[in-house]
């Protein structure tokens, strides 16, 4: 039996499909393949007649050039189809991280009822479990969805679409949906990268949830040194699904990079509708913040310093007897030292004064942390918060041991 | 026997402490052959020094530099502002850039293609999908087959930013892994067009590139790239997280010195000075 006449064409078909990634299948290639088969056949000596008679197998016919061409073409079509599907899949990017932690809080008490702040807080929990879906069909548009899935439920953190103009080097981008307030540094710095468990008190208080709904225009120019972000937002954050007042808030940041030093100036102008003891429907209170932030990669190897100062006006709580907002003020400062590529020692100090016209009500925190980067995806953080309230300082220090995996 | 065991145990514990820590270079596929040649020659000159070179793409190399899994990132494009921000946040450093070669980003054509020269605008229109037939640019009546690189490639980014002016590639462009695959595809396809480093040019021809219709057509060469006449040239970089010291410093100093630059030229790129 002339076995080569069957094996060679089959091998050619298999090889051609395997190498189709790198080589365009052309008629010339097909003709060459067929010619090689014919040439190969010519070189194979005739097998003895006896051996041929000894088998009862059905004799396969040698594929013709047209059959080979058809097979190769079908392989080519299947390959193109698979590649198109793969390219579509590549446009969808999924990233995420999970933070599993144990917290020991001095305020904890064994209690079945009562306010959450006084219940047992010493526990294991999943602090954040984020999945970020990004679909980018072209460089000029992007879809981003980021839910946070924890034992408390599923909350939408980011959900926006972006359009980037392709005509200038600034790449001005319009973002619409739910996104981080473009204010300062710490709000926009991912919780997966932050070197301490939570944001500073001033940021947590003045920008709860760090996000709002609206539209934002942003860009980066002057040799990637100057950046701007300006947004019009509801002003309610994400905790409420409803905007109670007609006015919209304006927030923005202008940043400049000097290389090792980055500076930014931010402003927020808006209002909050708050019920008072004398107006149950609520009245508008000024909601203002202005701040400056600095990040410095110092000449000392692996040492980074960061700071931000924020001042402004904050609406009081519902049912207030006040008719004007409170003057608030706060700051934070980070010192981060890298020891090699795997160890980080961090200290953050922060301060928040909820009413600068009232004495002895500021809260200060010193927060030393140690981070061990196990590999490119996972890290372990041990952190202790010394919390000091100016008047009547309670026992409320917090220890956190956290394991994070990101991808 | 006891002494032998003690000696073996001592050696087992002590040897890793004295073993040279390898310097790792990861990133650009365009640069991987050049980096490997540089590393091989340097290691031969400096016994005991270990330099490991891997590819993956410029974006992959810079990501590895940011997450601390490589000492040096090889990139065929400048580092992006967003990547510098990540580097500053994680390691408190803006990073250090070392241009070690210049490359004339070449446009590959099949040797059978009658087209010899293209303007930048024609190349742009071809890759944007506006020009789809070779006869529109002086060739035969045949569909243009576009070959491109994956989006983690620095070559892809550079070509998109500087030739397509930031616009997106035609969906007809076939994405291939590595410059060698693009060269191979064009070499086997009479109607193919590709782009990549000059050093990979085997079995294909370069298109002479005209800045505009009135400009002369220029082929990538030492003189034309160095003088800036060739319109699509770029630096090839090595990026480090820290200011280089010890073996890394010696290697980088040597790579931009006469001996290193000779290897750069032999591989097919152009010296930085």
**Does residue A174 carry a pLDDT above 70?**
yes
Asked if the C-beta of A299 comes within 8 angstroms of chain B's C-beta atoms, the answer is: no
User: Is the minimum CB–CB distance between B13 and chain A shorter than 8 Å?
Assistant: no
B162, closest residue in chain A (CA to CA): A169
User: Stretch A246-254: mean pLDDT, rounded?
Assistant: 95
For residue range A195-210, list pLDDT tens digits in order. Answer: 999 999 999 999 999 9
Q: Quote the CA–CA distance of A352 and A366 in Å, as a whole number.
A: 12
Secondary structure, 3-state, B79-107? CCHHHHHHHHHHHCCCCEEEEEEEEECEE
- Given a cut of 80, whether residue A71 has pLDDT beyond it is yes
Mean pLDDT of A366-386: 96
Domains of chain A listed by start with CATH number: 4-86 (no CATH), 98-406 (2.40.160.10)
- Which residue from B minimizes the CA distance to A224? B81
C-beta atoms of A22 and B185 within 8 A: yes
> Which tops the pLDDT comparison, B5 or A41?
B5
Which of chain B's residues have a Cβ under 8 Å away from the Cβ of A373? 68
With a pLDDT cut of 70, the percent of chain A lying above it is 84
B214 inside 8 A of chain A by CB: no
Residue of B nearest to A303 (CA): B92
Q: Is A329 exposed, middle or buried (0-12, 13-18, 19+ CB in 10 A)?
A: middle
SS3 A377: coil
Residue B159 CA to chain centroid, in angstroms?
12
Instruction: Calculate the average pLDDT of chain A.
Output: 85
pLDDT bin (cut points 50, 70, 90) of residue A59 is: low
From the list B88, B160, B188, the residue facing A24 with the nearest CB is B188
pLDDT of res. A137: 79
Q: Which domains does chain B have, with CATH numbers?
A: 2-102+236-267 (3.40.190.10), 106-227 (3.40.190.10)
pLDDT one-digit tens code per residue, A93-122 = 999 999 999 999 988 888 777 666 667 888
Going by the DSSP 8-state scheme, the letter that residue A222 receives in this structure is: T
Whether residue B27 contacts residue B37, with contact meaning beta carbons closer than 8 Å, is answered with no
Question: What pLDDT does residue B15 have?
Answer: 45
Note whether A260 contacts B: Cβ–Cβ < 8 A: yes
Give the strand order in the sheet containing B72-75: B51-54, B23-27, B72-75, B233-240, B96-104
CA distance B206 to B200: 11
Quickly state the pLDDT bin for A56 (edges 50, 70, 90).
Answer: low
Q: Is A342 on the interface with B (CB under 8 A)?
A: yes
Q: Which of A166, A260, A338 is closest, CB to CB, to B94?
A: A260
H or E segment to which residue A335 belongs: strand A326-339
Contacts (Cβ under 8 Å, ≥6 apart) of B35: B25, B53, B74, B238
Q: For residues A361 and A374, what is the distance between their CA atoms, to the nearest angstrom?
A: 40
Nearest to A166 among B84, B167, B175 (CB): B167
Cα–Cα distance, B75 to B80 (Å, whole number): 11
Antiparallel, parallel or unpaired: β B23-27 and A343-353? unpaired
- Please name the member of B68, B175, B181 whose beta carbon is closest to the beta carbon of A87: B175
- Does A376 contact B81 at a Cβ distance shorter than 8 Å? no
CB of B184 within 8 Å of a chain A CB? The answer is yes
Confidence at residue A269, expressed as pLDDT on a 0 to 100 scale: 97
Task: Among A21, A24, A375, select the one facing B189 at the smallest CB separation.
Answer: A24
Instruction: Say how far apart CA B109 and CA B116 lie, in whole Å.
Output: 8
Rounded (to 5) percent helix, strand, coil in chain A: 20, 45, 35
Low-confidence ranges of chain B (pLDDT < 70): 1-20
CB contact under 8 A, B188 and A29: yes
Q: Calculate how close chain A gets to B246, using CA atoms only, in Å.
A: 15
CA pair distance A272, B185, nearest whole angstrom = 62
What pLDDT score was predicted for residue A338?
95
Whole-number pLDDT of residue A391: 84
In this structure, is the dihedral angle defined by the CA atoms of residues B260, B263, B265 and B267, taken in order, positive or negative? negative
Say yes or no: A262 contacts chain B, CB-CB below 8 A.
yes
Contacts with A396 (C-beta within 8 Å, 6 or more apart), sequence order: A105, A106, A107, A387, A389
Most confident listed range (A32-36, A282-286, B87-91): B87-91
CB spacing of A302 vs B93 below 8 angstroms: yes
Q: Give the pLDDT of residue B2.
A: 57
**For range A246-260, the mean pLDDT:** 95
Q: What is the 3-state secondary structure (H, E, C) of chain B?
A: CHHHHHHHHHHHHHHHHHCCCCEEEEECCCCHHHHHHHHHHHHHHCCCCCEEEECCCHHHHHHHHHCCCCCEEEECCCCCHHHHHHHHHHHCCCCEEEEEEEEECEEEEECCCCCCEEEHHHHHHHHHCCCCEHHHHCCCCCECEEEEECCCCHHHHHHHHHCCCCCCCCCCCEEECCHHHHHHHHHCCCCEEEEECHHHCCCEEECEEECCCCCCCECCCHHHHHHCCCCCEEEEEEEECCCCCHHHHHHHHHHCCHHHHHHHHHHCCECCC
Residue B174: its chain A contacts at CB < 8 A?
83
Phi, psi of B65 (to 5 degrees): -65, -40
Counting residues of chain A whose pLDDT is more than 90, the rounded percentage is 56
Closest CB from A171, A189, A302 relative to B92:
A302
pLDDT for res A2: 46
List all residues 6 or more positions away from B5 whose beta carbon is below 8 Å from its beta carbon.
none
Neighbours of A118 (CB within 10 A): 12
Q: How far is A165 from chain B (nearest CA, A)?
A: 10
Is residue A354 predicted with pLDDT exceeding 60? yes
Q: Per residue in B220-260, pLDDT tens?
A: 888 888 888 898 888 999 999 988 888 899 999 999 999 99
Helix (H, G, I), strand (E, B) or coil at A324: coil
Please answer yes or no on whether B67 and A342 come within 8 Å at the CB atom: no
- For A16-20, A84-88, B88-92, which range has the lowest pLDDT when averaged over its residues? A16-20
pLDDT band for position A20 (cuts 50, 70, 90): very low
Residue A181, class by beta-carbon neighbours within 10 Å (0-12 exposed, 13-18 middle, 19+ buried)? buried
Chain-centre distance for alpha carbon A106:
32
Compute CA distances A225 → A65, A256, A303, B77, B82, whole Å. Answer: 62, 5, 22, 18, 11
State how far the Cα of A15 lies from the Cα of A93, in Å rounded to an integer: 32
**Inter-chain contact A302–B176, Cβ cutoff 8 Å?**
no
**DSSP designation for A299:** S
Lowest mean pLDDT, pick from A227-236, A300-309, B75-84, B192-201: B192-201
Indicate the length of chain B as a whole number: 273
Three-class secondary structure of residue A336 per DSSP: strand
3-class SS of residue A70:
helix
Interchain contact A304–B (C-beta under 8 A): yes
Q: Do B92 and A259 touch (CB under 8 A)?
A: no
Better-scored residue on pLDDT, A286 or A319: A286
Q: How many CB atoms lie within 10 A of CB B23?
A: 24
Complex prediction ipTM: 0.74
Q: Which two tokens stand for residue A145?
A: 């969805």
Whole-angstrom distance, CA of residue A365 vs CA of residue A398: 10
| More confident site: A376 or A230 | A230
Any B CB within 8 A of A321 CB: no
Which percentage of chain B shows pLDDT scores above 70?
93
Q: Is the dihedral of CA A107, A112, A114, A115 positive or negative?
A: positive
Of the candidate ranges A7-16, A169-178, B69-78, B92-101, the one whose mean pLDDT is the lowest: A7-16
Cβ neighbours of A226 in B, within 8 Å? none
Q: Determine how many CB atoms are found less than 10 A away from the CB of residue A407.
A: 11
pLDDT category of residue A60 using cuts at 50, 70 and 90? low
Contact call for B69 and A376, based on CB within 8 A? yes
Burial class (CB in 10 A: 0-12, 13-18, 19+), A23: middle
CB pairs under 8 A between A and B: 86
Q: Which residue has the higher pLDDT, B172 or A385?
A: A385
Q: Which residues of A touch B167 (CB under 8 A)?
A: 139, 166
């Amino acid at each position: 039996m002339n076995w080569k006449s069957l094996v060679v064409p089959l091998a050619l078909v298999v090889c051609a499909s395997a190498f189709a990634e790198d080589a365009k299948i052309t008629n010339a290639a097909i003709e060459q393949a067929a010619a090689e088969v014919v040439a190969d056949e010519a070189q194979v000596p005739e097998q003895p007649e006896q051996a041929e008679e000894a088998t009862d197998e059905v004799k396969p016919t040698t594929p013709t050039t047209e059959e080979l061409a058809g097979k190769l073409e079908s392989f080519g079509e299947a390959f193109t189809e698979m590649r198109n599907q793969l390219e579509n899949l590549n446009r969808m990017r999924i990233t995420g991280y999970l933070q599993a932690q144990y917290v020991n809080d001095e305020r904890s008490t064994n209690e079945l009822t009562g306010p959450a702040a006084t219940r047992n807080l010493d526990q294991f929990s999943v602090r954040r479990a984020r999945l970020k879906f990004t679909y980018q069909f072209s460089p000029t548009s992007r879809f981003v969805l980021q839910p946070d899935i924890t034992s408390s439920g599923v909350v939408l953190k980011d959900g926006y679409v972006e359009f980037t103009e392709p005509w200038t080097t600034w790449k001005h981008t319009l973002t619409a949906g739910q996104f981080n307030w473009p204010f300062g540094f710490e709000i926009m710095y991912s919780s997966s990268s932050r070197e301490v468990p939570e944001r500073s008190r001033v940021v947590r208080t003045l920008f709860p949830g760090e996000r709002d709904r609206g539209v934002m225009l942003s860009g980066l120019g002057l040799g990637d040194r100057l950046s701007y972000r300006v947004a019009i937002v509801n002003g309610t954050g994400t905790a409420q699904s409803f905007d109670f007042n007609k006015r919209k808030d304006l927030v923005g940041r202008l940043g400049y990079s000097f290389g090792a030093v980055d500076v930014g100036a931010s402003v927020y102008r808006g209002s909050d509708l708050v019920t008072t003891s004398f107006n149950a429907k609520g009245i508008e209170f000024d909601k203002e913040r202005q701040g400056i932030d600095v990040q410095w990669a110092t000449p000392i190897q692996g040492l980074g310093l960061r700071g931000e100062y924020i001042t402004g006006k904050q609406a009081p709580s519902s049912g207030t007897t006040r008719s004007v907002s409170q003057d608030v003020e706060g700051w934070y400062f980070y010192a981060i030292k890298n020891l090699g590529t795997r160890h980080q020692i961090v200290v953050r100090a922060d301060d928040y004064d909820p009413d600068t016209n009232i004495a002895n009500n500021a809260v200060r925190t010193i927060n030393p942390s140690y981070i061990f980067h196990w590999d490119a995806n996972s890290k372990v953080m041990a952190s202790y918060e010394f919390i000091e309230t100016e008047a009547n300082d309670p026992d409320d220090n917090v220890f956190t041991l956290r394991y994070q995996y990101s991808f | 026997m006891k002494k032998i065991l003690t000696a073996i145990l001592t050696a087992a514990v002590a040897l890793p402490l004295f073993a040279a820590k390898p310097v790792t270079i990861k990133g650009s596929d365009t640069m991987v052959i050049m980096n490997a040649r540089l590393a091989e020659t340097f290691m031969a000159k400096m016994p005991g020094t270990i330099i490991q070179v891997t590819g993956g793409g410029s974006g992959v190399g810079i990501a590895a530099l940011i997450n601390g899994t490589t000492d040096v990132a090889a990139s065929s494009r400048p580092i992006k502002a967003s990547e510098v921000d990540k580097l500053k946040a994680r390691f408190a450093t803006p990073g250090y850039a070392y241009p070690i070669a210049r490359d004339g980003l070449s446009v590959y054509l099949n040797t059978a293609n009658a087209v010899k020269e293209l303007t930048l605008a024609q190349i742009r229109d071809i890759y944007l999908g506006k020009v789809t037939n070779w006869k529109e640019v002086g060739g035969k009546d045949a569909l243009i087959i576009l070959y491109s690189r994956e989006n983690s490639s620095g070559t892809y980014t550079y070509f998109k930013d500087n030739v397509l002016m930031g616009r997106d590639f035609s969906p007809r462009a076939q994405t291939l892994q590595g410059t060698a695959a693009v060269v191979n595809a064009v070499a086997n396809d009479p109607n193919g067009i590709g782009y990549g480093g000059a050093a990979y040019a085997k079995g294909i021809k370069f298109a002479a590139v005209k800045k505009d219709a009135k400009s002369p057509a220029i082929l990538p060469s030492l003189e034309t790239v160095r003088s800036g006449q060739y319109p699509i040239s770029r630096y090839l970089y090595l990026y480090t997280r820290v200011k280089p010291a010890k073996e890394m410093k010696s290697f980088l100093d040597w790579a931009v010195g006469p001996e290193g630059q000779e290897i750069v030229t032999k591989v097919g790129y152009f010296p930085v000075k």
